[in-house]
Structure 1
Amino acid sequence: MARKTASQGTPATAVLAAAGVPFVAHPYAHDPSATSYGMEAAEVLGIDPARVFKTLMVEVEGKLAVGIVPVSGTLDLKAVATALGAKKAAMADPKAAERRTGYVLGGISPLGQRQPSPTVLDETAFGFETILVSGGRRGLDIELSPSDLVRLTQAVTARIGSAKG
């Protein structure tokens, strides 16, 4: 896998480069009218949506946390709460998520966040040699191994995603 290039540099790619983690940057032309950023990435890049993961900020017992699930499904809030030892979770306020991470919605990466948060990766990620997550801006996904993502984010893994009906 390739390393980052200067034109693709984000805090997420900087973290990967500093850690010596192999990754592939997948830039694409983001359509400003797209409403599902992750599904847009999967379609434009021609990659199975089960292998492209979205980073969602949740609030668990008054604190922000991260849930990473395939774009082909949805986040099970009860499951992410359970994985973090809590009873319930809710989607975080978008502005709070942006302030916490330093990224804009649609470009929130689990890597290189301004203030790291407890993170849960859906266990289906381990069904693939590599997965894609946001690279830190709209129009950039990064491909890396799920085990590297877990190591760098100190994530726990659990079944936190559910298929879309």
Structure 2
Amino acid sequence: MSKPAAPGATPATTFMDKEHIAYTLHAHDYDADASAKGLQAAEALGAPPAQVFKTLMVLIDRTRPACVIIPSDRRLMLKKVAALQGGKSAAMMLPADAERLTAFKTGGISPFGQKKRSPTILDASALEQERIYVNAGRRGQQCRIDPRVASAQCGWLVEAVAE
């Protein structure tokens, strides 16, 4: 018999519990109209943008999905991501496709507990931080994690992919 989901549990928190990845949850006001959701989350949490990471879904060579986690105040280097995944090009996934693939709503996509697991790249700047915030699988909910532990336990590639 499986234990019932905790109140406020998401597929992301359930995954982290199952994999014994320590985290703390942090709720914040979510502004659906914010043009930069990651920066809005950082401001709402009162945390430096370099510690609040956004989860982006990309397509390598138009066919292969990948998940990339970068600081909220940085831009993704798509060519670098493509090269790291053995491809020629990378493009941002359409929001509807990202939602279908991950089972999370945009603005709430977590690198943990996605419906279909994709290769994941964590920007190397995360290792400069003791803890980082990533989305916990719901808009307005972040989890604070140790990036070294999470990347090791989840098999994430750690490379500089943000500028």
Query: Structure 1 length as normaliser, TM-score?
Result: 0.91
> Would you say the 8 A contact 2:104–2:110 is kept in 1?
yes
Structure 1, unaligned runs of 5 or more? none
Q: How many residues align?
A: 158
| SS at 2:75 equivalent | strand
Alignment-derived partner of residue 119 in structure 1: 120
Measured after TM superposition, the shift of residue 149 of structure 1 is 2.2
Q: Distance in 2 between matches of 1:113 and 1:59?
A: 16
Aligned residue type for 1:121: L
Structure 2, unaligned runs of 5 or more? none
Q: Distance in 2 between matches of 1:12 and 1:22?
A: 12
| SS at 1:104 equivalent | coil
Matches within 5 A, 1:17-32: 17-32=17-32
Measured after TM superposition, the shift of residue 152 of structure 1 is 4.0
Alignment-derived partner of residue 37 in structure 1: 37
> Would you say the 8 A contact 1:67–1:121 is kept in 2?
yes
| SS at 1:74 equivalent | coil
Q: Distance in 1 between matches of 2:87 and 2:66?
A: 11
1:88 is the counterpart of 2:86 = no
Alignment-derived partner of residue 60 in structure 1: 60
Aligned residue type for 1:83: L
- 1:84-136 per-position Cα deviation (integer Å, ceiling 9, x unaligned): 12221111121111000000100000000000101111000000111110010
| SS at 2:151 equivalent | helix
Greater CA deviation, 79-88 or 136-145?
Answer: 79-88
Q: CA RMSD in A?
A: 1.3
Q: Distance in 2 between matches of 1:73 and 1:94?
A: 19
> Would you say the 8 A contact 1:83–1:156 is kept in 2?
no
Query: Structure 2 length as normaliser, TM-score?
Result: 0.92
